[in-house]
Each structure stands twice: as structure tokens, then as C-alpha cells.
Amino acid sequence: MAAVVDAMRAFFAPSTFVIDSENPGDVVARENLLDRAMGPDRRRKSSEKLRRGRVPAEGLALVARDEDGHVIGTVRLWNVEAGVDREGHGVPALLLGPLAVDPAHEGRGIGGMLMRAAIQEAKNRGHGAILLVGDAAYYERFGFFAERAQHLVMPGPFERNRFLALELKDGWLDGAAGMLVASGRKLALPPLRRAA
């Protein structure tokens, strides 16, 4: 039912936003939006441990922009290994998050549009699964379920019923067990300069 409501809201709402790729000029606006929507404690979450010092997966950092080009929503996906398979090999997957919409623009279907765009782009790029920690009642409409992540754990505290997965390729997570580990490209830091 929630998916129907999202579709109706998006259909009848005036189209005053677009989904776009994040660019380097969006960093400050995105961080400010995340602070407004989620508060400063967002940096203490287990998911943040997997994102820290990494760049998002190629082509999977998206924003919603209003008619003036301002960032009003954001979602990013990150390369991780979702435990190991039965042979002991890391299972490549994506970790989604954070998904956030500026509180002044909530209720317009922006979060749903960002989710659908992110899932479709991940499929287009050949990824096998997406994991996240979030509200099951919201994310189930996109196909995320706790059962698919039942043998996986986060590197820190998390609520089991909020740890969800979506397989983009059938059976991708079959046999996957263990801890999520960051596997994406590391953030390039400028070289340190030493005083003479």
C-alpha cells in the first residue's frame, strides 16, 4: 500500500525536483542537510565506520535538487564485502546510506525517488546486493528484508530487525555470513607537508 501512496504522491505532486549525480560542489550542502535531517550523532553509527575514509561506489552518489539547483535530498552507496561465502571468498555488495531529505521538503516522494534511482543504477552497474540499516516498514516497499541479512553483522552495535538486504541478483547472498567490511576505494588525502 505504501508503494501505491508513494506513486500517487509523485504522480500528482508538481515536479519541482530532479535526481542528479552528486558533484564535488555538493559536499557542504550534503553534510549540512545530513546534520539537519539526522543530527550530529549520525557520525557515531556502525554504518559510518564502513564509510569513513572511503569514497562512494562509482556512480552511486545521488542528490535531489530543487528548481534552483539546491541539494534537498541525498543517498550514497558504498562498496563492502558482505561477509564470506561457503568457500571463504568475500561477497561483494553495496551498503546504502545515509538516505536523507531536507525536513522542509519531506512528504513529496523525494526519498522514494532517490531510492528507486539508486537501486536502478546499482542494477545497471551489475551489483548483486544492497544492504542497509533502517526502518523495515519504509524499506520493505523497495524489496529490502531482514531475512536476507540474517547471517551478516555490522562492525559495531546495530538492531538486527533494522539490518536489511535487497538482492539485485537472485541468490547473491546465499551462504554469505560474517561481518561487513569496507572494500571501496579509499579517500585520497593530500600529502602532508612538513615544516623545514
Residue 10 has pLDDT above 60, yes or no: no
The mean predicted confidence, pLDDT, of the chain is: 90
pLDDT at 48: 86
The length of the chain is 196
What domains are there in the chain, each with its CATH number? 2-182 (3.40.630.30)
pLDDT at 56: 97
Q: What is the pLDDT of residues 45-102, one digit of tens each?
A: 778 889 999 999 999 999 999 999 999 999 999 999 999 999 999 999 999 999 999 9
pLDDT at 39: 78
Residue 167 has pLDDT above 90, yes or no: yes
